């Protein structure tokens, strides 16, 4: 079947075309037309009516949505989260786990594997395993009861149940480099998280294969003029890719502006780090067995008040970045899909070009989602 998207304000990395049209056949983009070109006949026509047409978003760090959590250990929960992510314009999502007992993580991976095999909403190529190999002192909203030393065999058992795309761990804990090396050999991306690492330790872990920094600035050593910490390493090192939560809570607007000014957009990856609090205005939810209070778009632990993931919707994060930084969308879209796809080695994603998968989000002027297509199909 051929689908034609017309009257699009098409945006792809380094490209913006007003009045563009895109021809989709099966699950791929087969042609892009300028405003004055003759258009082919198609079986279905979608009139974007001047709306923004972008590559579908990649949320590589998301625990849950709308009262559901990946760690609920339920296929229905995973399906519900995937449905909500699709409504945010997310076409590829990594179900993200928390610090939990090993047996439960393996069970959760089994539930996720069922969705990965039959994705009804957004795609899910694999998992993001956040913890349990973190520094207890930097646990944040992770459950310290289940924190344990890095152990590749534990990670491998999860990977055997469902592909692990990313593991977030603390490089300052003994044994982390060994896990990073072995994970890299399997094609698993390693990311520094919940850590008291110095900048030097991050640079050493890079030699073992570390390539990412998880939820930048949060639960990691900050910049100091005598020790620049993990944050300083992220600002300084040109090879590290950086996850950024753009809810204006985890990073205030000025910090977002600073990060987007100092760090090339080619290294930034927008995430939500959302949990069950997203899509919920007020109330109480659970995160990895810990009680969380949601109020005015902010989720905090009931005990201690630590930030407990976010309540952010992906498209709202894109709007925040556009408004705060003033960057053009053809630069911002590098941080919403292209960089993530490149980092994970997923070819054919993140651009609107012939040959690429027809994973597309269509946004209204206020960044609300009008339609989302996965593999050329409106879902």
Cβ count near 280 (within 10 Å): 16
Given CA atoms 17, 374, 241, 314 in this order, what sign does their dihedral have?
A: positive
Q: Which of 364, 240, 250 is CA-nearest to residue 309? A: 250
Has 69 been annotated as catalytic?
no
Of the listed 66, 72, 247, 273, which one is catalytic? 273
Phi, psi of 61 (to 5 degrees): -145, 95
**What is the residue whose two structure tokens read 């949060």?**
218
Bin 248: left if φ > 0, else alpha if -120 < ψ < 50, else beta. left
Contact 305, 238 (CB under 8 A): no
45 CB burial (10 A radius; 0-12, 13-18, 19+): middle
Whole-angstrom distance, CA of residue 269 vs CA of residue 54: 16
CA–CA distance, 306 with 299 (Å, rounded to integer): 9
Q: What torsion do the CA atoms of 269, 273, 277, 280 make, to the nearest 10 degrees?
A: 10
First to last CA, the chain: 16
Collapse the DSSP code of 211 into the 3-class scheme (helix H, G, I; strand E, B; otherwise coil) and give the result.
Answer: strand
The candidate with the shortest Cα–Cα distance to 123, out of 78, 77, 168, 91, is: 91
> How far is the C-alpha of 136 from the C-alpha of 338, rounded, in Å?
33
Distance separating alpha carbons of residues 75 and 83, to the nearest angstrom: 12
Count, in order, helices (H) and strands (E) of the chain: 10, 21
- Torsion-angle region of residue 375: left (phi > 0), alpha (psi -120 to 50) or beta? left
The set of catalytic residues is: 273
């Amino acid at each position: 079947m051929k689908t034609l998207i017309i009257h699009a304000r098409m945006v792809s990395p380094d490209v913006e075309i007003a009045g563009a049209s895109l021809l989709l056949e099966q699950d791929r983009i087969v042609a892009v037309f300028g405003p004055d070109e003759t258009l082919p006949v198609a079986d279905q026509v979608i009139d974007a009516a001047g709306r923004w047409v972008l590559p579908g978003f990649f949320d590589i760090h998301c625990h849950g949505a709308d009262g559901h959590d990946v760690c609920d250990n339920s296929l229905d929960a995973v399906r519900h989260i995937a449905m909500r992510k699709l409504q945010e314009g997310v076409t590829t999502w990594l179900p993200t786990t928390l610090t939990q007992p090993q047996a439960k993580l393996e069970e959760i991976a089994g539930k996720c594997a069922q969705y990965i095999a039959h994705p009804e909403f957004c795609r899910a190529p694999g998992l993001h395993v956040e913890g349990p190999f973190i520094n207890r002192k930097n646990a944040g909203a992770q459950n310290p009861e289940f924190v344990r030393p890095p152990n590749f065999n534990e990670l491998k058992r999860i990977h055997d149940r469902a592909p692990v795309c990313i593991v977030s761990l603390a490089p300052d804990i003994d044994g982390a480099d060994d896990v990073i090396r072995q994970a890299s050999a399997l094609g698993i991306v390693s990311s520094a998280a919940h850590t008291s690492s110095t900048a030097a330790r991050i640079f050493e872990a890079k030699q073992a294969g570390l390539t990412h920094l998880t939820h930048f600035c949060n639960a990691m050593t900050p910049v100091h003029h005598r020790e620049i910490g993990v944050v300083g390493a992220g600002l300084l090192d040109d090879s590290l890719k950086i996850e950024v939560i753009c809810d204006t809570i985890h990073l205030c607007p000025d910090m977002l502006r600073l990060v987007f000014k100092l760090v090339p957009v080619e290294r930034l990856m927008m995430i939500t780090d959302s949990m069950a609090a997203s899509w919920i205005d007020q109330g109480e939810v659970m995160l990895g067995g810990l009680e969380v209070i949601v109020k005015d778009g902010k989720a905090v632990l009931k005990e201690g008040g630590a930030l407990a993931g976010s309540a952010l919707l992906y498209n709202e994060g894109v709007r925040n970045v556009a408004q705060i930084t003033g960057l053009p969308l053809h630069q911002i879209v590098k941080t919403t899909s292209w960089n993530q796809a490149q980092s994970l080695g997923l070819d054919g994603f993140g651009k609107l070009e012939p040959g690429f998968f027809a994973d597309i989000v269509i946004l209204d002027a206020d960044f609300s989602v009008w339609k989302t297509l996965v593999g050329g199909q409106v879902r």
